[in-house]
Amino acid sequence: MLNVTAPFLIPSDIILQITLPYDTQQLSKATRSTAAIYLACGVDPSKASVFVQSHVRAHVELMWLLSSTTPIGWLNKMIQFKEKSRKAGDEEVGVALLTYPVLMASDILLYQSDFVPVGEDQKQHLELTRDLAERVNNLYGGRKWKKLGGRGGTIFKVPEPLIPPAGARIMSLTDGLSKMSKSAPSDQSRINILDPKDLIANKIKRCKTDSFPGLEFDNSERPECNNLVSIYQLISGKTKEEVVQECQNMNWGTFKPLLTDALIDHLHPIQVRYEEIMSDSGYLDGVLAQGARNAADIADSTLNNIYQAMGFFKRQ
């Protein structure tokens, strides 16, 4: 289970809606499911606020304000935009796919975050957030803000990345050089948190491996091997050295059942808790409503500061 000290976790329904094709009948259900998964994984709502992105309107307002100071060249460099737009074509890609990193920045900057947990593939997005925070602070903070009646100083904290030492980038089960992603076309490429045990067993049985003897970490010629032993390390709670000692002389026929059992054992209590949460809609709705109220108190304060620093007429 997770030991979460970060105060805000956000099922990002706006980002899902604006960046990918989606079923309008399923968006609300998927949002609730994501929130329930957070809680089932061990997020304690008494310590962390879990809320739906669209339920705190300051996110979209700050996105618009940040967009006015974001050079278009910064967004054109974003790798995910370039990859997705190339695959889909210009006529199928909305403007929001280009600008959603600014919304991600507003998600972070609204709450004056010191640290942001990210995987390796999200480092570029956090770098954009840091650049935007520094740009706004330079353009509108300090003495300029004080002259407008503000407290002066910096408007936004510049957050630091919090990247785990292991598991910062989990790769696909079908291609050890591509990241594991819920948006990948093939469900075979990933382990979903709610996958039943028979499906997990089938995915691991069919996952891509190699013909080298033994198992090892960090061999660039064996990306699938490194990925699978890394997954085992994460879910077993063992150190890298312990996994090496246990698995270095194994073949795939021995290791795959070991990995399968570890995945099933790891996910089972999460899946049980998920079903409990989803069966009590009143509890989940209450957690999300309280989380949105907690978030709005801080988000509105930050938003008021940036409106003031940018010279807007004060709302009465």
- Quick count: other Cβ atoms within 10 Å of Cβ 77? 12
Q: Does the pLDDT value for residue 60 go beyond 70?
A: yes
CATH number at residue 29: 3.40.50.620
* Average pLDDT over every residue of 139-144: 94
Q: Could you tell me if 144 and 201 lie in one domain?
A: no
Q: Tell me: pLDDT of 167 over 80.
A: no
CA–CA dist 189, 165 (Å, integer)? 23
pLDDT digits (tens, 9 = 90+) for 203-252: 999 999 999 999 999 999 999 999 999 999 999 999 999 999 999 999 99
Spatial separation of the C-alpha atoms in residues 276 and 74, rounded to whole Å: 44
Same domain, 24 and 98: yes
Mean pLDDT of the chain: 89
Query: CA 102 from chain center: how many Å?
Result: 15
Residue 198 to residue 207: CA distance in whole angstroms: 14
Is the pLDDT confidence value at 16 over 70?
A: no
Give 316 or 99, the one with higher predicted confidence. 99
| Mean pLDDT, residues 265-270 | 98
156 and 43 housed in the same domain: yes
Calculate the alpha carbon distances from 93 to 82, 84, 97, 202, 267 in Å: 11, 8, 7, 35, 35
**For residue 2, what pLDDT band results from cuts at 50, 70 and 90?**
very low
Q: Are residues 232 and 305 in the same domain?
A: no
DSSP SS3 for 116: strand
Q: Do residue 213 and residue 77 come from a single domain?
A: no
Contact of 85 with 97, CB cutoff 8 Å: yes
The number of folded domains in the chain is 2
Same domain, 267 and 284: no
Question: 202 and 250 share a domain?
Answer: yes
Give the domain CATH number at 220.
1.10.240.10
User: Do 245 and 284 reside in the same domain of the chain?
Assistant: no
Q: What is the reported pTM?
A: 0.87
For residue 208, is it within any domain?
yes
Pair (161, 99) in one structural domain = yes
Residues 192 and 133 in one domain: no
Residues 41 and 157 placed together within one structural domain of the fold: yes
Query: Percentage of the chain with pLDDT > 90?
Result: 70
Q: Establish if 146 belongs to a structural domain.
A: yes
Report residue 8: phi and psi, to 5°: -135, 125
Q: Determine the structural domain holding residue 93 and report its residue range.
A: 8-167+280-309
What is the set of active-site residues? 84, 179, 182
| Whole-number Å distance between alpha carbons of 66 and 203 | 42
- The pLDDT score that the predictor gives to residue 1 is 42
Tell me whether strands 49-50 and 160-162 are parallel, antiparallel or unpaired: unpaired
Same domain, 27 and 150: yes
Instruction: Answer whether residue 178 is part of any domain.
Output: no
